[in-house]
Amino acid sequence: MAILDDFKFEDLRAIKFGRFFKNRVNTSCYVFCLGQSMIDTGPPNQWHLVRTLMDEVRPRTLLITHHHEDHSGNAPLLQRRYDCQVQCHAKALDPLEKGFRIPFYRRLVWGKPHAGAKPVCFEPDSEGLEPIQAVETPGHSDDQVCLFFPNRGWLFSGDLYISERPKVTRSIEDPLLEMQSLQKVLALDFETLFCSHRGMIAQGRAAIQRKLDYMKNLRGEAETLRQKGCEVREIVQALLGPEDRFMYWFSWGDFSKKNLIEGLLGNRD
């Protein structure tokens, strides 16, 4: 367990926490601090590091992009320690307060999320903060938001971006809805992107556009092959190659190329 990155950009501080340094599973994520506001809280198995660093910041407001454990997992402990307000999407209120179940592989990577937060829905411009827009961007999860700072041209994208050319997705994600969310944020006037797993991307608008173009093209190619009578497994092999056996095994099939193709084809139940 370690701090893998710690940088400043203007008055923003970004800290990357991670469990392993090199592997085929994403095991690291950023938290962002702007004044006494904190965007996401890091995974619960990094609490000892988060606590030490946040003793310097003493956050007053926690802005949660979505309820997944690597983003919200320390919110209850931070709230109790610093008496700070937790803001999130309405659909994240219940998971943050009551807790939520996660598969074993996610507990192994991120730790078990803490319950007991007392969150409220996003309150733009609260406590004298500069203007912030919480933009609903479902697809990765139904409660995900991107945080847009219009005066700065910054977008904190949660897990909307992650990769320009995704090859796998989880079984509960909706790639078609994610494409709509990508299109939605492109209507915002931003340039700098802050991704929870990639850090700062200076030409963020172009990166979002490239991801959307990739997903549109992949969907079109998949639909063409389906019209030719190909089965999903054949489409996966033709467009993305064989499944990553380790990723498939490690996640018990939750992460797979098959999930991505089925989602793009609208084959989900």
Q: Does residue 24 form part of some domain?
A: yes
Q: Does residue 43 form part of some domain?
A: yes
Q: Does residue 91 form part of some domain?
A: yes
Q: Does residue 179 form part of some domain?
A: no
pLDDT tens-digit series, residues 9-68 = 999 999 999 866 455 567 899 999 999 999 999 999 999 999 999 999 999 999 999 999
Stronger pLDDT, 21 or 94, i.e. the higher one: 94
* Alpha helix ranges (H) inside 204-256: 204-227, 232-240, 245-250
**pLDDT band of 87, cuts 50, 70, 90:** very high
Q: How far apart are CA 96 and CA 116, in angstroms?
A: 7
Q: How far apart are CA 197 and CA 249, in angstroms?
A: 22
Which pLDDT does position 268 carry in this prediction? 63
| Pairing of the two strands 192-195 and 145-149 | unpaired
Q: Does residue 44 form part of some domain?
A: yes
Give the mean model confidence (pLDDT) for residues 70-86.
97
Q: Does residue 188 form part of some domain?
A: no
Residue 252 C-beta-side C-alpha neighbours within 13 Å: 6
Which pLDDT does position 130 carry in this prediction? 81
Q: How far apart are CA 261 and CA 239, in angstroms?
A: 9
Which pLDDT does position 91 carry in this prediction? 98
Q: Does residue 119 form part of some domain?
A: yes
Range of the domain at 57: 1-129
Which pLDDT does position 267 carry in this prediction? 77
Radius of gyration of the chain (CA): 18
CATH number, domain at 111? 3.60.15.10
Q: Does the pLDDT at position 3 exceed 90?
A: no
| Number of domains, the chain | 1
pTM assigned to the model: 0.94
Angle at 132 between CA 118 and CA 110, to 5 degrees: 50
Which pLDDT does position 94 carry in this prediction? 97
Q: How far apart are CA 147 and CA 132, in angstroms?
A: 7
pLDDT tens-digit series, residues 98-156 = 999 999 999 999 999 999 999 999 976 555 568 899 999 999 999 999 999 999 999 99
Q: Does residue 212 form part of some domain?
A: no
Which pLDDT does position 27 carry in this prediction? 84
Report the amino acid identity of residue 55: D
